[in-house]
Chains A and B, each alone.
Chain A
Amino acid sequence: MTMKADNAIPGAPRGALLRNVFRQAPTKPGQTYGVPGEGNTIRISVAAVLSVLALWQIVTASGLIAPLFLPSPVAVAEKFFALVQNGYTNAPLLQHILVSAARVFAAFALACVIGIPLGLGMGMSPTLRGLFDPFLEFYRPIPPLAYLPLMIIWFGIGETSKILLIFLSVLAPVALGARAGVRSVAIEQIHAAYSLGATRSQVLREVVLPSAFPEILTAMRIGVGFGWTTLVAAEMVAATQGLGYMVLSASQFLQTSTVLVGIILIGGIAWIFDLAMRWVEKRLVPWKGRM
Chain B
Amino acid sequence: MLEIRRASVLYPGRDGADPVEALRSIELDIEPGEFVVALGASGCGKSTLLNLIAGFLAPSSGQIRLDGAPVTGPGQDRAVVFQKHALMPWMNVIDNLSFGLKLQGVEKAERHRIAREFLELLGLEDFETSPVYMLSGGMQQRVGIGRALTADPRILLMDEPLGALDALTRERAQELILRIWEAQKKSVFLITHSVEEALFMGTKLIVMSPRPGRITHRFDLPFSRQHLSGMSGREVKASPDFIAMRETVLSIIFADEEKAA
**What is the interface of chain A, defined by CB distance below 8 A to chain B?**
186, 188-189, 191-199, 202, 206-207, 210, 213, 285-287, 290-291
Q: Is the CB of A196 within 8 A of B76?
A: yes
Closest CB in chain B relative to A289 CB, distance in Å: 10
Q: A202-B103, A287-B131, A291-B132 are in contact. Are A194 and B88 (CB under 8 A)?
A: no
Which residue of chain B lies nearest to A207 when distances are taken between CB atoms in the complex?
B88
Which residue of chain B lies nearest to A198 when distances are taken between CB atoms in the complex?
B103
Query: Complex Cα distance A188/B89, Å?
Result: 13
B157 within 8 A of A: yes
Q: A196-B147, A287-B133, A291-B132 are in contact. Are A189 and B74 (CB under 8 A)?
A: no
Closest CB in chain A relative to B122 CB, distance in Å: 17
A-B contact pairs, 23 of them (CB 8 A): A186-B84, A188-B82, A188-B86, A189-B86, A192-B147, A193-B103, A194-B56, A194-B74, A195-B80, A195-B153, A195-B157, A196-B76, A196-B99, A196-B151, A197-B76, A197-B100, A197-B103, A198-B103, A206-B102, A210-B90, A287-B90, A290-B133, A291-B132
Q: Is the CB of B103 within 8 A of A191?
A: no
Q: Is the CB of A186 within 8 A of B86?
A: yes
Interface of chain B residues 108 through 167 with chain A (CB within 8 A): 131-133, 144, 147-148, 151, 153, 157
Q: A196-B76, A198-B103 are in contact. Are A191 and B86 (CB under 8 A)?
A: yes
Q: Is the CB of B89 within 8 A of A291?
A: yes
Query: What's the interface size class on B, roughly?
Result: 20 to 34
Chain A contacts for B131, CB-based, 8 A: 286-287
Chain B contacts for A210, CB-based, 8 A: 88, 90
Q: Is the CB of B86 within 8 A of A192?
A: yes
Q: A195-B74, A196-B103 are in contact. Are A291 and B133 (CB under 8 A)?
A: yes
Candidates A197, A290, A291; contact of B151 at CB < 8 Å: A197
Query: Complex Cα distance A285/B89, Å?
Result: 9
Given contacts A188-B86, A197-B151, 9 further A-B contacts (CB under 8 A): A186-B86, A189-B88, A195-B74, A195-B79, A195-B157, A196-B79, A207-B88, A213-B90, A290-B89
Chain B contacts for A195, CB-based, 8 A: 54-55, 74-76, 78-80, 148, 153, 157
Main secondary structure of the interface of A (DSSP, over half): helix
Closest CB in chain A relative to B107 CB, distance in Å: 16
Chain B contacts for A189, CB-based, 8 A: 86-88
Which residue of chain A lies nearest to B134 when distances are taken between CB atoms in the complex?
A290
B229 within 8 A of A: no
Which residue of chain B lies nearest to A188 when distances are taken between CB atoms in the complex?
B86
Query: Complex Cα distance A196/B55, Å?
Result: 12
Which residue of chain A lies nearest to B157 when distances are taken between CB atoms in the complex?
A195
Query: Complex Cα distance A199/B76, Å?
Result: 11
- Which among A188, A189, A193, A196 has the highest number of chain B CB atoms within 10 Å? A196
Chain A contacts for B248, CB-based, 8 A: none
Candidates B76, B87, B103, B157; contact of A291 at CB < 8 Å: B87
Which residue of chain B lies nearest to A196 when distances are taken between CB atoms in the complex?
B100
Query: Complex Cα distance A188/B8, Å?
Result: 23
Closest CB in chain B relative to A174 CB, distance in Å: 21
B104 within 8 A of A: yes
Chain A contacts for B90, CB-based, 8 A: 210, 213, 285, 287
Query: Complex Cα distance A177/B230, Å?
Result: 57
Query: Complex Cα distance A6/B23, Å?
Result: 63
Which residue of chain B lies nearest to A195 when distances are taken between CB atoms in the complex?
B80
- Which among B74, B80, B90, B131 has the highest number of chain A CB atoms within 10 Å? B90
Query: Complex Cα distance A291/B91, Å?
Result: 12
Query: Complex Cα distance A191/B147, Å?
Result: 13
Interface of chain B residues 172 through 231 with chain A (CB within 8 A): none
Chain A contacts for B75, CB-based, 8 A: 195, 197
- Which among A189, A286, A290, A291 has the highest number of chain B CB atoms within 10 Å? A291
Query: Complex Cα distance A195/B76, Å?
Result: 5
Which residue of chain B lies nearest to A186 when distances are taken between CB atoms in the complex?
B86
Q: Is the CB of A197 within 8 A of B104?
A: yes
Which residue of chain B lies nearest to A202 when distances are taken between CB atoms in the complex?
B103
Q: Is the CB of A191 within 8 A of B80?
A: yes
Query: Complex Cα distance A213/B147, Å?
Result: 23
Closest 10 CB pairs of A and B: A197-B76, A188-B86, A196-B100, A287-B89, A194-B74, A291-B89, A195-B80, A290-B133, A192-B86, A291-B133
Closest CB in chain A relative to B179 CB, distance in Å: 22
Closest CB in chain B relative to A212 CB, distance in Å: 11
Q: Is the CB of A192 within 8 A of B82?
A: yes
